[in-house]
Amino acid sequence: MKFSFSFSLMHLLLVLIICITCVNLVQTTPTKIGNGYSLIAIEESPDGGLIGYLKVKKKNNVYGPDIPDLQLYVKHESDNRLRIHITDAEKQRWEVPYNLLPRESAPSLKQTIGKSRKSQFPLSSSQYSGNELMFSYTTDPFTFSVKRKSNGQTLFNTSSEDSDPYSNLVFKDQYLEISTKLPKDASLYGLGENTQPHGIKIYPNDPYTLYTTDQSAINLNMDLYGSHPMYMDMRNVKGEAYAHAVLLLNSNGMDVFYRGNSLTYKVIGGVLDFYFFAGPTPLAVVDQYTQFIGRPAPMPYWSFGFHQCRWGYHNLSVIEDVIANYKKAKIPLDVIWNDDDHMDGKKDFTLNPVNYPGPKLRAFLEKIHAEGMHYVVINDPGIGVNKSYGTYQRGIANDVFIKYEGKPFIAQVWPGAVHFPDFLNPKTVEWWGDEIRRFHELAPIDGLWIDMNEVSNFCTGLCTIPEDRICPNGTGPGWICCLDCKNVTKTKWDDPPYKINASGIQAPIGYKTIATSATHYNGVREYDAHSLYGFSETIATHKGLQALEGKRPFILSRATFVGSGHYAAHWTGDNKGTWEDLKYSISTVMNFGMFGVPMVGSDICGFYPAAPPLEELCNRWIEVGAFYPFSRDHANYYSPRQELYQWKSVAKSARNALGMRYKLLPYFYTLNYEAHKTGAPIVRPLFFTFPNIPELYELSTQFLVGSSVMVSPVLEKAKTKVSALFPPGTWYSLFDMTQAIVSKEPHYRSLDAPLNVVNVHLYQNTIIPMQRGGMLTKHARMTPFTIIVAFPLGASQGEAKGNLYLDEDELPEMKLGNGKSTYMDFYATATNGTVKIWSEVQESKYALDKGWYIEKVTVLGLNALGSAFEILSDGTKVEDTSKVAFASEEHKYIDKLEDGGHKKSMMLDIKGLELPIGKNFAMSWKMGN
């Protein structure tokens, strides 16, 4: 949920405030800010790393005085991860709290250089090697580089020549600057959250500002809800791809300038804490990255169903009507959501006694839970200042709120005047969990949607509650500030010397949020912890939900930071019902997969209303959104109704696209397991599977679900064809598996795409599990399985593989070995005229107890069935195959093969099977002609 005024108005208000507070928008920043540091001493640290001492070369006062002495710490923390940490050698500085993001501690300050004679390093240019990466340094000025050991490729190089438009290392209290040279052919991704109009690649000279801000996703190239100071770098060397990633673990506001041949960080606090991840493949990078920041959270099975929400479901009967209409239209629906309509006066953890009375809501939830549906509600962090409000009373009693000069900081959000919980305080985490427990007793919700947690404030500065008027008074927009406020600019934390490009206009960093001189637990300044607010709330919410019934939590958070995916899903925020927003959503979803937040999606059909007609756009959006990991239709209070049943054409597209999603649920859920174990994104760019093809490096209009299912949607108005880029190999249409596209080189193909059709293709050498589908995940997951085996078309030799993971999906942990899960690997080979398909099962009991079985195997790309068909189950030949039936159909080609040939091949269906999922099976036969 977000404000509903236009961005142009917001900019006007910002400019007025900036003018009033005399903030100079035009900065006369010198090209070179400092002369860098000299490395005075360096030696091996007790833990096997390097520890060094840096001294400033020549002081200046641009953006404040230089910190004269720095401590350098370098360590290969694993075979593929290198850490470089630079901080003040004399005083402790702010860092991302180690209890929020667990990791190895840096050495304590004032380490005595020279006492340990274990291993002295020469001050002359030297290097420190690990298994995959090498750290090299020069002493005067101090610079460092990181190289790939296998080929000597320089990944990061901080040296600055006279002709470079950036300085050597600068380290001041409120201004840190460091740069790296980059090759012009490097492809960079990440540095979010922002909406990137040029696609998924980071674009030279676009602004990249990282500072969590309640600013809608319709604003391009601006700081949005999350802060992810990580980028992946793809390079193609003589046809072979190498990927690595760089994380600057810092929660302070920052600008990142990418010029095409260099990248510069300008950060307003904290430390320089770099982590380098060696890759060398994109999947390996994300594996290494999520191993460090926390593996993505396991999601319950039902969360992969379709979700419906709207700000403006005024009462329970409207919700019931929405569910009934989805059923009537035969469109799958698993989860119904409430924005703040269910609340009493928009206060957290309350129910509206008239529109959502407790007894009626509990009866409603008992009914939909029995059917297999689920219910999620919104929760904003602002706690209404109201002495009769229990949550507020208990918060005051437990002293849980962020303070300004010793008193709870006052802001305004939807309930009116609010205080913000301080989630860095352990007492707050306990209080929050107790409030979740109390509310769950009132309304047994299935998950929480934590919004407005950047944090958002309708006012700016130091505010008081007016005594002469009601605020808000119930008339006019609820987002207009009605408190009595004055700007806070008296401290360096409110008005830092360097102005990051906040909101695209160097807005004050305290604008429409908590004053940055406010304090958290143990005196931590909001200035430092601002971008951690949503992350810390997510951790507290996860703990509170998990304590309820021991179930796997489902949390959707708008604000995110490094590591948020370990606890929550994300949606891309307040978008608009435009074709541009539909297109932008693909890049943002793919970016969050790289950030370690694979459960992500955009508001289908758009949150903000746009000029009608919406019907055609909504058709196309559900065709994309059905393949987002998180698939939800959500709309603004002022938007026209846009549930998928509102138009017959959209309902048809929804039945088609969501019908396929529900058949693919076991595939999606297995990808959820892989994400949890390895970080692999559920939705990913094509170059993740085909890294050696440079043409794919900036492709942002198609995407992969997993490694092998490619979605090629229509993203433009009035189009009934789509031009799709097909990497080399065979691709089979999932909607008609007799249709195949084959190419030897990457080629664009023009595909028919009538209004109700989305093109989805399966790649060769793949085995995927499918089921019959249904209207609810509860029912769909109990239907029999079909295993799709895709060989290269016309192949006489080939192989394919895939997997399947099943579990008791609401258990908090997603793992094998607990008696509540089953895992299967599938393999297939075609060699010497013989086809073999088999499985290898781990932990069979769970699937056997559920009674799941395979009813059909579909084989693509081979010749027809010949003779000697045989099935084994757990090594024993199945003698009775009387129910087994065979059907084959020749593959059709979308266009001619490049070599002009025509390889005859068949789609073979083997039906009537009853192969238990929990048992190893094997089948084989001779191919016919």
Residues tagged active-site:
451, 454, 574
Radius of gyration of the chain (CA): 29
Contact 792, 766 (CB under 8 A): no
Strand order across the beta sheet in which 126-129 lies: 126-129, 133-139, 142-148, 154-157
Q: Quick one: which of 223, 918, 128 has its CA closest to 530?
A: 223
Structure tokens at 6: 């236009």
- SS in 3 state form for 710-777? EEECCCCCCCCEEEEEECCEEEEECCCCCEEEEECCCEEEEEECCCCCCEEEEECCEEEEEECCCCCH
Q: Tally the residues of the chain.
A: 929
Contact 508, 494 (CB under 8 A): yes
Pairing of strands 892-893, 739-743: parallel
Contact 841, 824 (CB under 8 A): yes
Provide the 10 A C-beta neighbour count for residue 715.
22
Instruction: In whole angstroms, give the CA distance from residue 205 to residue 849.
Output: 58
- SS in 3 state form for 280-312? CCHHHHHHHHHHHHCCCCCCCHHHHCEEECCCC
Contact 805, 917 (CB under 8 A): no
Q: Quick one: which of 903, 908, 882, 879 has its CA closest to 893?
A: 903
Kindly give the interhelix angle for 316-329 and 358-371, rounded to the nearest 10 degrees: 20
Q: Is residue 442 classed exposed, middle or buried when 0-12, 13-18 and 19+ CB atoms within 10 A define those classes?
A: middle
- Strands of 303-419 (E only): list them: 306-308, 335-338, 374-379, 383-384, 403-404, 407-408, 411-413, 416-419
Structure tokens at 165: 């438009």
The DSSP code sequence of 79-138 is: TTEEEEEEEESSS------TTTS--PPPPPSS--TTS--S-BPPSSSEEEE-SSEEEEEE
Q: Is residue 182 classed exposed, middle or buried when 0-12, 13-18 and 19+ CB atoms within 10 A define those classes?
A: buried
Instruction: In whole angstroms, give the CA distance from residue 732 to residue 737.
Output: 6
The torsion angles phi and psi of 435, rounded to 5 degrees, stand at -65, -40
Contact 834, 924 (CB under 8 A): yes
Pairing of strands 739-743, 729-733: antiparallel
Structure tokens at 461: 């500065």
Instruction: In whole angstroms, give the CA distance from residue 201 to residue 214.
Output: 24
Contact 502, 516 (CB under 8 A): no
Cα first-last separation, the chain: 61
Instruction: In whole angstroms, give the CA distance from residue 598 to residue 922.
Output: 34
Place of tokens 């007609």: 613
Instruction: In whole angstroms, give the CA distance from residue 918 to residue 874.
Output: 10
AA letter at 406:
G
Place of tokens 């757990």: 874
Instruction: In whole angstroms, give the CA distance from residue 493 to residue 269.
Output: 10
Enumerate helices (H) and strands (E) in the chain, giving the number of each. Answer: 14, 54
